[in-house]
Amino acid sequence: MHYLQGEFRNGLLPRVVVETDVKHWHLLNVYPGREAKVMRWFRYSGLQGWYPIEISYIRRGLGGPARKPHLGRKVVRPLVPGLIFVPDTETSEVMTTFPDVDGFHMVGDCLGRMPACDMARLRDIEAYLNTPRSERGHRGRLTIGELVKVVDGPFAEFIGKVTRLDSRGRLTVDIDAFKRSVSLQMDDTQIEPIASTPRG
């Protein structure tokens, strides 16, 4: 497994590839909301660690999600508040002396840990949540003009054509219903592509 030394998120540190064999990750308890601060202590001490985040953009002064990133205020939230994941090659009692750290997570009398395969899944979840909704999963391969089937809502089972996609996972689908074309704004979870549709 390749572990990226200094991978503290969002380019805070250089990404230097280090060949290590991380078998599992220990869980370090920190006070919620202080994860970034503790990671700075890690950086100053030359230690490695990681915590998953979700990035969103909030409309300034109005609240609610911004239509586009440059129109909002960037908000970074930890996916697992109060936990930092530390590779087994880096575990050190020094970490427990940092401000805002509450010690290693224990399960009964045992040190809590997470196998590398589960950590890979957690990284995949983080990547998925930070991908624009219109690009997630199979729906991310939709194209303008593609035929889709509506699977949710009052127009379920109708066939339509994608006429517009946006970065928030919403799209416009034209369906032929009641002897006329109806244009609907839908969420990407409400449709599925028709596999036989040729892509051009």
Chain segment 87-133, per-residue pLDDT in tens: 988 888 888 899 999 999 988 888 888 888 888 888 888 887 787 65
Helix (H) or strand (E) holding 61: none
CA distance 83 to 34: 10
Greater model confidence, 6 or 154: 154
The mean predicted confidence, pLDDT, of the chain is 76
Domain-ending residue, one of 130, 154, 174: 130
Would you say residue 198 lies in a domain? Answer: no
* 22 plus 83 within the same structural domain: yes
* 167 plus 123 within the same structural domain: no
Round the CA-based radius of gyration of the chain to a whole number and report it.
22
pLDDT, average across residues 74-88: 89
In which band, very low, low, confident or very high, does the pLDDT at 135 lie, cut at 50, 70 and 90? low
* 185 plus 162 within the same structural domain: yes
pLDDT of residue 180: 64
pLDDT of residue 11: 36
* 120 plus 142 within the same structural domain: no
pLDDT, average across residues 55-71: 76
Would you say residue 61 lies in a domain? Answer: yes
CATH of the domain at 188: 2.30.30.30
Would you say residue 65 lies in a domain? Answer: yes
> pTM here?
0.58
CA distance 12 to 1: 22
Would you say residue 165 lies in a domain? Answer: yes
**Is residue 35 classed exposed, middle or buried when 0-12, 13-18 and 19+ CB atoms within 10 A define those classes?**
buried
Beta carbons within 10 angstroms of residue 82's beta carbon: 17
**Strands (DSSP E) along the chain, which ranges?**
2-5, 16-19, 24-30, 53-59, 72-78, 83-87, 101-104, 106-107, 110-111, 113-115, 147-150, 159-165, 170-177, 180-187, 191-193
Number of separate domains in the chain: 2
Closest CA to 25 of 125, 120, 99, 108: 120
Q: Is residue 90 classed as helix, strand or coil in its secondary structure? A: coil
Note down the domain range covering 78. 2-130
